[in-house]
Amino acid sequence: MSFNSHPAVADVLLRIEAEMRDCSLWSSQTPIEKALKSIQPFCVDTLQFTEWQEFVFLPKMKEIIEQGWLLPSSSDISAMAEESFSLYQVNTNNLLNLLIECDEILMGAH
């Protein structure tokens, strides 16, 4: 992967958002502030995984890209997604593949 993976990450983040919308996994209602402040990984105690993606992960990653900050050196989002998506009644294969791609880009960015 090139020394600057920000464009690749930005592209996959846009595709993740689009796929979440296509799967009707995008919410128009923001969770309460307290739910967003959980200290548990993926806010598992206060949010569904897709809510965490939409309201924590995607905004934080977009901020990192916009500010030109260093990308995370590792990511296991796809492993959590695979477990979480087994509960959904929609086909999440494309979304899972995009999260795997995001993990791979982040791991190759360093």
What is the predicted pLDDT for the residue at 75? 84
DSSP code string of 60-102:
HHHHHHHHTPPPPS---HHHHHHHHHTT-SS--HHHHHHHHHH
Is 90 in contact with 24 (CB distance < 8 Å)? yes
- Domains of the chain, first to last: 6-108 (1.20.1440.40)
Three-point CA angle 60, 66, 71, nearest 5°: 60
Cα 67 off chain centre by: 18
Tens of pLDDT along the chain (110 residues)?
Answer: 444 789 999 999 999 999 999 999 999 899 999 999 999 999 999 999 999 999 999 999 999 999 999 999 888 899 999 999 988 888 999 999 999 999 999 988 65
What is the predicted pLDDT for the residue at 110? 58
